[in-house]
A and B are shown apart, each in its own frame.
Chain A
Amino acid sequence: MEQLEQALTMIFTTPLVPAAFAGLTWGILGSSLPGMSASITMALLLPFTYALPPMPAIVMLASCYIGAEYGGSIPAILIRTPGTNSAAATILDGYEMNRQGRGGEALGISLWSGVIGGLWGLAMLVLLTEPLSRVALLFKPTTYCCLGVLGLSLIASLTSKSLLKGLAAAVLGLMVATIGTDPVSGVSRFTFGSPDLLEGITPIFVMVGFFAVSELMMRSGVKPLTLKPNVSIRVRLPKLPMMKKIARAQAIGSSIGTVEGLMPGIGGILASFLAYNEARRWSKEPEKFGHGAEEGVAAPEAANNTTASTALVPLLSFGIPGSNSAAVLLGGLLIHGLLPGPRLFEQNGDVVLGLYTGSFVANLGQILVGMLILPVSVWLVNRPKPYLSAFIFALIMSGIYTVHMSLFDLGIVLTAGLFGYFMRYFGFPILPAVLGVVLGGMVENNLRRSLQLSAGDLSIFLEDPVAMVFLVLAVLIVVAALLNEWRLSAKTRKASVA
């Protein structure tokens, strides 16, 4: 009750509401551009939050994530191109509805289901995060080190078809994290005499380079789809009978989104496709799916909006981001000196409460902003792509400069973009590398602190049961992924022989 009062006071006395609406607006606009995923949209916003106080900065980023999940469905429904990966399942029935002249209705269902999914996800986030983070109070340096290893192996095995490529990406990220002054001995590493590198590589530069610059490179010269110039669509929110009709699909989507969001590396795309399939299985009219079924839009949209909130549970509890977008949010927390885990709740309770309140405001505000902003989104989607690419590049250069007022940082971002491009070109996943950069310090510092405590005796890890559980889990995950890969390649070989 006391926290509810505090939250209400926050709404009226802090810049939380403008931050939520600004993030939401940017999230919807950014991700309505095909190819601009939620993480890219957030990464572009990240440098702007640098100058803000921690609470509005985090609220802005979280609201951007919420808005991006709806924004991604706009091009999915209107031009059969998902703005974000997780909106891919929305195409199946959303675009069909649009072809039948029901595009506005599909957008309304998407928006409404997003709100329902988002609010459910937020409730789960509030209920689960703090109790889970209390577990982290028991953690010692050995536990943190092994938690980092577990997080990296989990993400490496889940985000790529090839475990080896995932692991290589994680190692590359860890290598980047070692650049700068060694925090234990004070010795400078891999700085090559440059004072600009002494403080290390700021994770947001890597994120912007990996996500945004590499995307601009990937899409250079590729012709995008556009809307018909005379298209004029208005969002039509569902009326009560329709709300009742899609409620079951929304419940299915929200339940699946909850579970998937809690599992690092799974992400919204799997959640939305699973939700779509389950909604079809439990529907009274399964034959309508694929032909413009309203439930076919409601289920995936509820699922990916739920995931947007529940993916923050492992992030806020243990500091392990489960998705690209959560990794960007972690970057936002870190640049404001906020370390996820139990201390975050003890020392920065106001930021956490602000995050919850801001997410609530953003989820509700989605209806208003989503309806008002649609014409702008449609206008943006129809701009010539060269203008969009040029303005995004200009935004990256201007935004990054604001972080340290240094042109050197722009070079780091472009170099990260080059690496990100080649990683994607060769089929390496980006998220393990980003996670390596973010978690590298935690893994190394805790490893060295543990070994300092034990005078170099590795058996200190055996004395920590939680650390051992994490380590065994990490090994099991790697072995399971290797076995799965081996089984798949054997199957492919058999099929090619046949």
Chain B
Amino acid sequence: MRKDLLASIGLLLIAAAYYAATMTIQESTLGQDEPIGPTGLPTILAALLAVIAVIIGARALLAAPARGKSSDDDKEAEAPWPRALGILVLGSFYIPLAYVLGYPLALVLLITGICLYEGLRPDWRVFAVAIGGAAIFWLIFDVILGVRQPEGLLF
């Protein structure tokens, strides 16, 4: 139930941030012709999410002593969150790399990085697969499909 409590806090924060952003939306110039306006639904959604978050949190607090076994216990194997975030961070490096180095090189680095992060030892095979893989992707997208991929500042 600790997870539900954390989720409840997270949802409340999202609701608050969303509401704060709603307050910055310009008023509609349609005036009387538009009863709800551009802020109408967002305000309702922020309130609704806040109410749901409070109920989830309250239920988590009330249910905590009654339940011994967490509902997560029977879940299949999954990565711990720091590890899961790691692969996302690694993937996000692709964006600046593609911007600077261009598609093929950024892709080689992305494939190599993920292979190493996922547990392969850094030997020539990993680099060969990364270079070969990037070449195949470049061939499929740029040459066969004719879809331009990012061109870097350097290459």
Contact = CB atoms under 8 A, between A and B. Distances in A.
Interface stretch (A135-143, A230-238, A362-370, A417-425): A417-425
B77 A496 contact: no
B95 A411 contact: yes
Given A164-B55, A493-B66, A394 B3 contact: no
A47 B25 CA distance: 32
Interface in B1-54: 3-4, 6-7, 10-11, 14, 18, 21-22, 25-30, 33-38, 40-42, 45-46, 48-49, 52-53
A101 interface: no
A394 B111 contact: yes
Interface string A366-408: 0000000000000000001111011101110110011001010
A247 to B, nearest CB: 34
A178 B148 contact: no
A171 B34 contact: no
Contacts of A219: 78-79
B115 A390 contact: yes
Given A393-B91, A428-B7, A493-B66, A171 B45 contact: yes
A492 B110 contact: no
Q: Which has the most chain A C-beta neighbours within 10 Å: B27, B52, B110?
A: B52
A217 interface: yes
B110 A393 contact: yes
A422 B84 CA distance: 10
B35 A386 contact: no
A221 interface: yes
Contacts, number: 199
Specify the main secondary structure of chain B where it touches its partner.
helix
Q: Which has the most chain A C-beta neighbours within 10 Å: B88, B111, B130?
A: B88
Interface of B: 3-4, 6-7, 10-11, 14, 18, 21-22, 25-30, 33-38, 40-42, 45-46, 48-49, 52-53, 55-56, 59, 63, 66-68, 71-72, 77-79, 81, 83-88, 91-92, 94-95, 98-99, 103, 107, 110-120, 129-130, 133-134, 137, 141, 145, 147-150
Interface of A: 48, 51, 161-162, 164-165, 167-168, 171-172, 174-175, 178, 182, 184-185, 187-190, 192, 213, 216-222, 384-387, 389-391, 393-395, 397-398, 401-402, 405, 407, 410-411, 414, 417-418, 421-422, 425-428, 444, 447-448, 451-452, 455-456, 489, 492-493, 496
25 contacts: A161-B71, A164-B52, A164-B59, A172-B14, A184-B30, A187-B25, A188-B26, A217-B87, A220-B79, A220-B84, A220-B86, A222-B77, A386-B114, A386-B116, A390-B133, A391-B111, A394-B137, A397-B94, A425-B84, A427-B3, A447-B41, A451-B36, A455-B35, A492-B67, A493-B66
